[in-house]
Amino acid sequence: MENQSKEFILQLEKSERLRQSIRAVSLEMESATLLMQSSLLLVHQSRPVPEVLEKAKVQIDVLKGLFHRLAEILQECRGQYYRYHGDWRSETQMVVSKLAFMHWLETGNLLMHKEAEEKLGLDSSEFFLDIEDYLIGICFMSNELPRYVVNRVIAEDYDFTIKVVKFLRDLYVAFRMLNLRNDFLRKKFDGIKYDLTKVEEVYYNVKIRGLITSGDSSQDLGMQT
Amino acid sequence: MENQSKEFILQLEKSERLRQSIRAVSLEMESATLLMQSSLLLVHQSRPVPEVLEKAKVQIDVLKGLFHRLAEILQECRGQYYRYHGDWRSETQMVVSKLAFMHWLETGNLLMHKEAEEKLGLDSSEFFLDIEDYLIGICFMSNELPRYVVNRVIAEDYDFTIKVVKFLRDLYVAFRMLNLRNDFLRKKFDGIKYDLTKVEEVYYNVKIRGLITSGDSSQDLGMQT
Amino acid sequence: MENQSKEFILQLEKSERLRQSIRAVSLEMESATLLMQSSLLLVHQSRPVPEVLEKAKVQIDVLKGLFHRLAEILQECRGQYYRYHGDWRSETQMVVSKLAFMHWLETGNLLMHKEAEEKLGLDSSEFFLDIEDYLIGICFMSNELPRYVVNRVIAEDYDFTIKVVKFLRDLYVAFRMLNLRNDFLRKKFDGIKYDLTKVEEVYYNVKIRGLITSGDSSQDLGMQT
Amino acid sequence: MENQSKEFILQLEKSERLRQSIRAVSLEMESATLLMQSSLLLVHQSRPVPEVLEKAKVQIDVLKGLFHRLAEILQECRGQYYRYHGDWRSETQMVVSKLAFMHWLETGNLLMHKEAEEKLGLDSSEFFLDIEDYLIGICFMSNELPRYVVNRVIAEDYDFTIKVVKFLRDLYVAFRMLNLRNDFLRKKFDGIKYDLTKVEEVYYNVKIRGLITSGDSSQDLGMQT
């Protein structure tokens, strides 16, 4: 009984030490993401997008460094990625949501799972971006869009509403295809539908007042969905 | 054991007596704040602001007197401000929120921490306004603004919406800078984002209908902050 | 976006399929454990221990087969033991608690972690018995002892109480050494103290009535551990 | 607004830093108290009291050092003892309960508030032992006694029961005199009544069987309460 206890103490302490290192890293992740978020906020106040992105991008390297540290910590316990996953997953979801928002501001496209992994330097088969974390991050990103589209209209950028409606419709269709079974994800996915409805209302308000200038855009929008 | 008990009885009774005096004062604070609030409510019904403020200001002197009484009670137990803090803090937060709302109605600016202390006669280093109480009070004040802006639009005061959007954006940015760790404060701070989003939506509705008269204001809003 | 969705659908479906297979196995585990439990219950009714154990042991082979099936399922997703762990862990804890009770009835000793793994055929490094699951199982086993000791006294087997007190004291000391950080485990461990106190009370009642026959046993109890 | 934010950031960070230092110390307090507790446990197994106490006392110096560190941290924020009190109070209550149990084992008397302060080196007027924390610690100590008395009887030390009954009766009367208003303390105090009842039952069982040897003790006990 005593020998067994001694062995357990060693193992439980090792596990506790790992957990503490992981938590220290995820605290730093949270902090870097908040800094990124503070920069991104200015996009709602019509600051030029490139300027806003430049500042926010500084944190990507910080985050890359943190994920590298996390990967190193996890090498001490091969095959136990999911044992400690709960200690960094919500922070990772936040990181994905900010990266996806930045990517969309820059390219108008959805940040792919592979691209998110590349940005964070997650290239090994041992340490990767869990698909559910990626999907939840994308849902959080979608939640930013209604506010953003309202502020674009305030800044008299009416045509922009079309882009957002298109993007969210595609995203909604893509998520629906996934036929999600996970309850948490399903609930977050319902949020996309809510965001889409709000964005469509903004577009309808703009459209009905004849504020859309680009001739064929509305038909275009009508056809695709 | 008996001697100790006797001493404890004295101390516990003293502490209980203090607590009762403090509670009596904070009950009166609550009552004065409610009177202030009843006057301020009329601002939503488009009563002239100076008239509304005049009535509400009467209570400031009452509150000043009450904080003076509280300071006197706390002099009996130097260095124990935070021991009894829980017994007046939520009342103080309410006081701050009303004072800040009045100050904003009058000047268009945020009531500073120092200014709030001055208004309440808190000049000593022994009795002061706790920073977290001040910040929570400001969050409560922000919660009043969406309703107020809606009522300004009802009163056809469309241009006013710009001021509120600007004020809340500045407030939101200032709070974000604080990098709050206190969970309660963080939650209240999320409320500011919600208020801001609602106020932006009101502005957007007014804007889209061409109801804003001041020519350059929208660009102004876009550029600044 | 579409390619990514297709890949996700494949992966999410694979994961869902795995989860369903695992749940099917853990349902069968639960069922086998209940059968084991029904046999073991008779021990409280003073049925001869060897007879009771013989019936209960039949289920060990069934469980061994189920753990083998689980191991095979998990080979499809190497390194993801902890991803699905939540789907079989409470069943495993129950299995451990029954095995440990049987082992104690048979030998008077604590079932060691290694012994539990052997009984269940968990010999590989890929599929093993998580230490925390083992410890929680032992806590559940301890919860059975107060009732058992009461029933031994009813059956006029007074001296038996000493054995249980000794066993639980050793177990309690061993657990305390572990310095547990996990909240759930700590709470379960508090249960052992409660069991020990109850068992000590039974022993005390028997002792005080002069029902203990073995002359030196009480001193023995006092001196040791 | 910006200047105010800068000042707030400094103050909030200072407060957060203080809180983290305090938490680090109270974590070490918890750990030292657990070590003390592990040693004290052996008293239930009839290990000689002096031997048990000697081992447990090693931790008193550790705790004294930790309270000294805490006092130093609090000197950075004079007059704010109660601001951070919540971060070390439950640990302090545990410390008091163990010290009081040890003192009682050694002397048969209640550890006085002043004595507890001395043991922990709390001699200044700035850093002291809060009376409520002391009282709650004493309640926790009382909770240990029913189990201890049962184990004394198991070890055939019957006369000891009288001492415990007397001690708990005195303690109960002393607490009743305090006329407690604090809900948490009152609830803990109800626990003393429960402990007393259990201890009285043990005494009654021992008495009724004629196991008490000291002639006049029972009358003695009868007179005093």
Distance, in Å, from the CA atom of A2 to the CA atom of A9, rounded to the nearest integer, reads 10
- This model of the complex carries an ipTM of 0.84
- pLDDT confidence of residue B33: 96
Which residue from C166, C169, C204, C199 is spatially nearest to D203, judged by alpha carbons?
C204
Residue A55: phi and psi, rounded to 5, are: -65, -45
Q: How confident is the model at residue D163 (pLDDT cuts 50, 70, 90)?
A: very high
Amino acid identity at C46: S
- pLDDT confidence of residue B181: 80
Domain presence at residue D31 = yes
Q: Which two tokens stand for residue D143?
A: 């909770």
- Inspect the interface and report whether the beta carbons of C85 and A85 lie closer than 8 Å: no
Distance, in Å, from the CA atom of B41 to the CA atom of B58, rounded to the nearest integer, reads 15
Q: How confident is the model at residue D23 (pLDDT cuts 50, 70, 90)?
A: very high
Over residues C11-40, mean pLDDT: 94
Which residue from A135, A196, A141 is spatially nearest to A169, judged by alpha carbons?
A196
The answer to whether residues A95 and A178 belong to one domain is no
Which residue from D16, D36, D5 is spatially nearest to D144, judged by alpha carbons?
D36
Q: How confident is the model at residue B38 (pLDDT cuts 50, 70, 90)?
A: very high
Residue A221, CA distances (Å) to A166, A213, C5, C84 in order? 7, 14, 22, 43
Sign of CA dihedral B154, B156, B159, B160: negative
**C24: CATH:** 1.20.58.190
B124 vs D19 pLDDT, higher one: D19
| Statement: residue A211 has pLDDT above 70 | yes
Rg (CA), chain D: 21
Structural domain range at position D168: 130-225
Residue C88: phi and psi, rounded to 5, are: -130, 0
The answer to whether residues A99 and A165 belong to one domain is no
Distance, in Å, from the CA atom of D103 to the CA atom of D120, rounded to the nearest integer, reads 13
The answer to whether residues A26 and A80 belong to one domain is yes
For residues B98 and B36, the answer to whether their CB atoms sit within 8 Å is: yes
* B172 at A interface, C-beta within 8 A: yes
Average pLDDT of chain B, as a whole number: 91
For residues A159 and A213, the answer to whether their CB atoms sit within 8 Å is: yes
* D49 at C interface, C-beta within 8 A: no
For residues C101 and C149, the answer to whether their CB atoms sit within 8 Å is: no
Choice among B82-86, D4-8, D78-82 with the minimum mean pLDDT: D78-82
For A44, the closest chain B residue by CA position comes to B222
Domain presence at residue C135 = no
Domain presence at residue C136 = no
Burial of B133 (0-12, 13-18, 19+ CB in 10 A): buried
Those residues whose C-beta lies under 8 Å from the C-beta of residue C95, and which sit 6 or more positions away, are: C29, C33, C63, C120, C137
Distance, in Å, from the CA atom of A1 to the CA atom of A5, rounded to the nearest integer, reads 6
| Contacting residues of A for C5, CB less than 8 Å apart | 174, 177-178
Distance, in Å, from the CA atom of B62 to the CA atom of B55, rounded to the nearest integer, reads 12
For residues A161 and A209, the answer to whether their CB atoms sit within 8 Å is: no
- pLDDT confidence of residue C224: 36
- pLDDT confidence of residue C71: 93
Over residues B75-94, mean pLDDT: 91
Domain presence at residue A102 = yes
| Statement: residue A181 has pLDDT above 60 | yes
Domain presence at residue C134 = no
Domain presence at residue C74 = yes
Q: Which two tokens stand for residue A133?
A: 């974390």
The domain boundary, picked from D118, D150, D171, lies at D118
- pLDDT confidence of residue D220: 52
Q: Which two tokens stand for residue A188?
A: 């977050």
Domain presence at residue C17 = yes
Over residues A169-195, mean pLDDT: 91
Q: Which two tokens stand for residue C80?
A: 């993801």
Please give, rounded to a whole number of angstroms, the shortest distance from the CA of D83 to a CA of chain B: 5
- Inspect the interface and report whether the beta carbons of B176 and A46 lie closer than 8 Å: no
- Inspect the interface and report whether the beta carbons of D147 and C205 lie closer than 8 Å: no
SS3 C77: coil
For D148, the closest chain C residue by CA position comes to C197
For residues A158 and A214, the answer to whether their CB atoms sit within 8 Å is: no
The answer to whether residues C158 and C212 belong to one domain is yes
Q: Using CB atoms, which chains have 3+ pairs under 8 A with C?
A: A, D
Which residue from A101, A93, A94, A99 is spatially nearest to A43, judged by alpha carbons?
A101
Residue A219, CA distances (Å) to A13, A193, A205, A216 in order? 64, 22, 17, 6
Distance, in Å, from the CA atom of B87 to the CA atom of C57, rounded to the nearest integer, reads 63
| Contacting residues of B for A203, CB less than 8 Å apart | none
- pLDDT confidence of residue B79: 80
- pLDDT confidence of residue A225: 37
B146-176: per-residue pLDDT in tens? Answer: 999 999 999 999 999 999 999 999 999 899 8
* B170 at D interface, C-beta within 8 A: yes
Over residues B22-31, mean pLDDT: 96
* C201 at D interface, C-beta within 8 A: yes
The answer to whether residues D136 and D221 belong to one domain is yes
* A220 at C interface, C-beta within 8 A: no
Those residues whose C-beta lies under 8 Å from the C-beta of residue A28, and which sit 6 or more positions away, are: A66
| Statement: residue D57 has pLDDT above 70 | yes
For residues A164 and A155, the answer to whether their CB atoms sit within 8 Å is: no
The domain boundary, picked from C102, C129, C156, lies at C129
The answer to whether residues B189 and B106 belong to one domain is no
Q: How confident is the model at residue A152 (pLDDT cuts 50, 70, 90)?
A: very high
The answer to whether residues D187 and D98 belong to one domain is no
For residues A29 and A66, the answer to whether their CB atoms sit within 8 Å is: yes
Distance of CA D183 to the CA centre of its chain: 19
- pLDDT confidence of residue A76: 85
For residues D18 and D76, the answer to whether their CB atoms sit within 8 Å is: yes
- pLDDT confidence of residue A222: 47
Over residues B36-60, mean pLDDT: 94
Judged by 3 or more CB pairs under 8 A, whether C touches A is yes
The answer to whether residues B158 and B51 belong to one domain is no
In the block, tokens 């939520």 appear at B90
Most confident of A46-50, A93-97, A122-126, D187-191: A93-97
Number of domains present in the structure of chain C: 2
Which residue from C209, C197, C214, C119 is spatially nearest to C159, judged by alpha carbons?
C214
The answer to whether residues B163 and B84 belong to one domain is no
* B174 at D interface, C-beta within 8 A: yes
SS3 B215: coil
Those residues whose C-beta lies under 8 Å from the C-beta of residue A25, and which sit 6 or more positions away, are: A66, A69, A70, A73, A88
Distance, in Å, from the CA atom of C166 to the CA atom of C160, rounded to the nearest integer, reads 10
Q: Percentage of chain C with pLDDT > 70?
A: 95
The answer to whether residues C97 and C208 belong to one domain is no
The answer to whether residues B185 and B153 belong to one domain is yes
Average pLDDT of chain C, as a whole number: 91
DSSP string, chain A: -HHHHHHHHHHHHHHHHHHHHHHHHHHHHHHHHHHHHHHHHGGGGT--HHHHHHHHHHHHHHHHHHHHHHHHHHHTTTT-HHHHGGGTHHHHHHHHHHHHHHHHHHHSSPPPHHHHHHHTT--SSSS---HHHHHHHHHHHHHHHHHHHHHHHHTT-TTHHHHHHHHHHHHHHHHHHT----HHHHHHHHHHHHHHHHHHHHHHHHHHTT---STTHHHHHHHH-
* C113 at A interface, C-beta within 8 A: yes
The answer to whether residues A67 and A172 belong to one domain is no
Those residues whose C-beta lies under 8 Å from the C-beta of residue A197, and which sit 6 or more positions away, are: none
The domain boundary, picked from A92, A116, A140, lies at A116
A58-88: per-residue pLDDT in tens? Answer: 999 999 999 999 999 998 888 888 999 999 9
| Contacting residues of B for D129, CB less than 8 Å apart | none
- pLDDT confidence of residue D215: 58
DSSP-assigned letter for residue C87? G
**D146: CATH:** 1.20.58.200
Rg (CA), chain A: 21
B96-148: per-residue pLDDT in tens? Answer: 999 999 999 999 999 999 999 999 999 877 789 999 999 999 999 999 999 99
In the block, tokens 């409320």 appear at B191
Domain presence at residue C28 = yes
Q: Which two tokens stand for residue D32?
A: 């030292």
Q: How confident is the model at residue C124 (pLDDT cuts 50, 70, 90)?
A: confident
Residue A119: HSE in the Cβ half-sphere, 13 Å Cα cutoff: 22
* B186 at A interface, C-beta within 8 A: no
| Statement: residue C218 has pLDDT above 50 | no
